[in-house]
Structure 1
Amino acid sequence: MSKTMSRLIVLMEIAVIAAFAMALEYVPHKTGISSVEMSYGLIPITVLALRRGLGAGMAAGLTWGVLDVFLIGFSEGSVLNPLQGFLEYPIAFAVAGLGGLLYPQFQKALHENKPKTILATAWLAVLIGTAAKYFCHFLAGWVFWGSYAPKGMPAWLYSLAINGGSAIATGLVTLIVVTVLLRTVRKALFQPKTATQFQPQH
C-alpha cells in the first residue's frame, strides 16, 4: 500500500508540475530581441527533477511538451512536419528534465546539509536541462528552419544565434529563481514527501 501511495504522489506531482510549466508559457517571455524567448517552464521541471529524479523530471517535461504542441504549437504554426514537431516538443521538453541525473548527489547533499554542494549541484542540473532542451531546438532550427535565415547567413549560425540567445536567457532566469528557492523554501520544495508522511497519526 505504501509503494502504491508513493507512486500516486509522484504521479500527482508530475501532473501538477507539467500543468504549471504549461501555464508559465502564457506569461510574457520575450526578451525584446527578435525570436529570443525565455522558457519559464524549465524552473518547475528542474525543481521536480531534483526532488524526484530523472524519470519524474523527464515525464513532466514530456507531458509539458505534449500540452504545448497542442495548445500553442499547432495554433502558432510552429509545427512544420511530424519529425520537426516531435523533436521540438516531446523530445526537447522531455530532455529538459535531464537535470534529474544529479538527483542522488543533490539529495545526499540536502540530507547532509552541505549548502555549497547543494547549490553547485542545482546549478549544474539547470545547465544540463537547458543545454539539452536547446540543443534539440538548435538541430531543428538548422535542419527545418534554415530557409528563414537572413540571406547569406548559414542555417546553423542562424539557429545558433536564435536558440543560443534563448538558452542563455532561459538558463540565467532559471538559475536565479532556483537559487532563490533553495535559499528560502529548500525543504518544502526540494525534499520529497513520502507516503508515510501523508498517513494519519495514531
Structure 2
Amino acid sequence: MDSSSLHITELSQVIWFAVALAAAFIGVVMYRRSRSVIEAENTAPAPIVKASYSDAQTVRVLDSQHFDRLRKPLHLTPGQHADIFPAHPVVGPRFRISLQAISKHGAEDAAHLSVVYAGVRVSCGPLAKEVDFNEFLLPQAPRDESRCAIFHYQETSHTLEFMRIKVNAIDRSTNTVALEVVQMRGRWPGGDA
C-alpha cells in the first residue's frame, strides 16, 4: 500500500509540473506576440501629412476641428466705416469699424475708432485710450503691437474666438488711416458651435 500511494503522489507532481510548464510556454508565446505587435507599430513609418497653405478663410485641422481666420487690410477716411462681416438685416452690423476722426494722443497722431463687434465690449492695450464704450484713440502700432491694439478674446469649452485691430499707418496729407484686422474662430471636438 505504501508503494501505490507513492506512485500516486509522484503522478500528481508530474501532472502539476506539466500544467506549470504548459502555462509558462503559453505565457512566453503571448509575451512574444505582444512584443512583435508593439515593435511593428513602432517601426511602421508615420503617415505623411501634406501641409498646404492658401489664402482660404478656413484651415482644416481634423474632421472635428477647424479654424476660420480672416486678415483684412482697411483704408478709412474720417466718417467712413467698414463692415468686416455682412450686416444682419434685422440685428444690424455684426463687425463694423468706423473712423470718427484723426486726432492727437499725447504727442503722436491717433485714429479715433468706433467698433461694433457682435454687441460685446472690446478691450485695448495700455498705449491706446478708451474714450467711450467701444470707442478708442489708437496710435500707430510700434513693434510691440499688442500694447496699442483693440482686441477681443473669448474662450468656451469648445471654441476660441480672437479679434485684433491695429493701426498700420496714419497719413495726415491724404487724411487716411491704414488698419489691419485679424479675426479668428476655432472649434474642436465636443462643440456644437
TM-score for both structures, normalised by structure 2:
0.29
- Larger Rg computed on CA atoms: 2
User: Of the two structures, which has the highest relative contact order with CA contacts closer than 8 Å and spacing of 6 or more?
Assistant: 1
**Greater strand share, 1 or 2?**
2
TM-score for both structures, normalised by structure 1:
0.28
**Greater helix share, 1 or 2?**
1
